[in-house]
Structure 1
Amino acid sequence: MVLRVRRVWDRLAVYLPLLLMGVMAMTTYWLVRNTPTMSEPELEAAPRHVPDYFMRDFSVKVFGEDGKLKSEMVGIEGRHYPDTDTLEIDQPRIRILGAEGRITTAVAARGLINADGSEAQLFDKAVVIREASTSAQGVVTPRSELQSDFLHLFANTEQVRSHLPVVLVRGAGDRFTADGMDYDNLDRLMQLTGRVRGTLQPPKDKK
């Protein structure tokens, strides 16, 4: 009897590793079938060009590091777009105080302002006026007025650009027209492009 039990045990000892491997294989298969799969990450939706807030009959002021007022902007209605961080304004009116105290004003039917207020794109019947000024050296700069259906105004560098036809009226009646313009107030330089026409008024005699 003892001998028979020993033989059975010897046979089981031979097949026991195979039996254990089979059980482990079945367990692994079951785990693979029943383990929840990780869901694929959802693709982030592209930001839409829709406003996230509105303003009506508003005023925005920008101050420099020294606390002095640099510019002021008012509008009938404003819409902020988070995808471009810009403010679209109906009937904007902008007032900029230059480094030498020279005042620049701008109006248009519609405007697009960047986040820090340093750039303003003016559309439809845009007008930018720089008032006359006198420098510390006594140099007089006459009043100038720019008119166009598009004017790109740079507040920090005091530049105005346009790729559309422009009209420039300067002083007592000097008038220029062109197909495009790049004006740098700090360097006192204006580049007129395309078809350029100009009318210069003779200086008045001093009595």
Structure 2
Amino acid sequence: MTLNERMRRVWEIFSIYLPILLMGLLALGTWWLVRNAPKPLEQPQQRAVSHEPDYYMRDFSIKSFDATGRLQSEIQGETLKHFMDTDTLEILKARMRSISPDGRVTLSTANRALSNSDGTEVQLFGDAVVTREEFKKTGAKPVPPMQFKGEFLHVWPNEERVKSHLPVTLTRGPDQFTGDAMDFDNYSQVLNMRGDVKGKMQPSRVTSTLTPAPRNNRP
């Protein structure tokens, strides 16, 4: 067998096994790349949001106004804490003042208050008092002041609702009512008191005009 025939024979054998060798080299290179490639960064575990304040204020006063610049409400207190997980405000020694569009003023005080972020729902704890001041409107009969007192009051200022599952004392003008629980809706003018309910109503004052008897003049 000549040299050329041997070389051609070797080339034919090499040609048959070349694809297998190339596939083996490709698989080996892929394995090496996978082994030495940088590992993907582990996704950080999401931390559970704890009930911790993310900011606070001391001896603060917050006022809110409507689009026309009218004062709507004012909140004051010793300390304020905001909790991000519930988006609520906790206020110590809370003093709140709200003014309705028609000018009615409502004052609220408590040792501690818990409010949502926009102040549309407020819970008052410890020596809670909500007072609606006397309201006088031109051409209408004055509305007497109204006051709610208890250890807990749940207030919706915009809806003009006050609710409590604990004993409450309600005073309206000279009249006073007490009960173990209460639900008051000013819009519907419905007061629902439950439990040992007691009331004390003062009689309305009747003003009469007395005409003196004519004097018997003798000549």
Task: Using structure 2 for the length normalisation, give the TM-score.
Answer: 0.87
Between the two proteins, the alignment pairs up a number of residues equal to: 206
Greater Cα offset, 186-195 or 42-51: 186-195
CA distance in 1, matches of 2:108, 2:22: 87
Partner of 2:154: 152
CA distance in 2, matches of 1:90, 1:7: 98
Inter-partner Cα distance in structure 2 for 1:185 and 1:132: 14
Q: 1:71-90, aligned counterparts within 5 Å?
A: 71-90=73-92
- Residue 57 of structure 1 is matched in structure 2 by 59
Match of 1:191 in 2: 192
Partner in structure 1 of residue 136 of structure 2: 134
Q: Which residue of 2 aligns with 1:180?
A: 181
Deviation at 1:82, TM superposition (A): 2.0
Amino acid at match of 2:18: L
Q: Which residue of structure 2 aligns with residue 120 of structure 1?
A: 122
Q: Tell me the C-alpha RMSD between the 2 structures.
A: 1.7
Match of 1:92 in 2: 94
Q: CA deviation at 1:141?
A: 1.9
| Residue 111 (structure 2) pairs with residue 109 (structure 1) | yes
Q: Distance in 1 between matches of 2:104 and 2:124?
A: 20
Contact kept, 8 Å, 1:175 with 1:199, in 2: the verdict is yes
Greater than 6 Å deviation, 4+ residue runs: none
* Alignment partners' CA distance in 1, 2:195 and 2:130: 21
Counterpart code for 1:160: V
For 2:127 and 2:104, how far apart are their aligned partners in 1?
A: 23
Larger radius of gyration: 2
Distance 1:130 1:190, change over 3 A: same
Moved more, 118-127 or 78-87: 78-87
The aligned runs of 1:158-177 (5 Å cut-off) are 158-172=160-174, 174-177=175-178
Please identify, of 160-169 and 122-131, the stretch whose mean Cα deviation from structure 2 is larger.
Answer: 160-169
Structure 2 regions of 5+ residues with no counterpart?
Answer: 209-219
Q: Return the alpha-carbon distance in structure 1 between the equivalents of residues 103 and 193 of structure 2.
A: 26
How far is the alpha carbon of 1:59 from its aligned partner? 0.8
Pick closer, same or farther for the CA change 1:65–1:186 going to 2, 3 Å: farther
In structure 2, the residue matched to 1:46 is: 48
Amino acid at match of 2:176: R
Deviations 1:98-128 (A, max 9, x none): 2322211111111112212222211001001
2:127 aligns to what SS in structure 1? strand
* 1:203 match: 204
Output one character per residue of 1:3-53: Cα deviation in whole Å (capped at 9) or x when no partner. 111111111111111111111121122122222232331221121211122
Where structure 1 has 5 or more consecutive residues not aligned to the other structure, the ranges are: none
Secondary structure in structure 1 of the residue aligned to 2:53: coil
The whole-number CA distance in structure 1 between the counterparts of 2:18 and 2:79 is 84
Contact 1:62-1:117 within 8 A present in 2 as well: no
State percent identity of aligned pairs. Answer: 46
| Cα pair 1:100 1:135 within 8 Å, conserved | no
Distance (Å, rounded) in 1 between the aligned partners of 2:85 and 2:94: 21
In 1, Cα distance between equivalents of 2:100 and 2:7: 108
Residue 68 of structure 1 aligns with which residue? 70
Q: Deviations over 1:144-168 (max 9, x none)?
A: 1101111122221221111221111
- Contact 1:90-1:109 at 8 Å conserved across structures: yes
- Structure 1 residue 137, shift from structure 2 partner: 5.1
SS at match of 1:91: strand
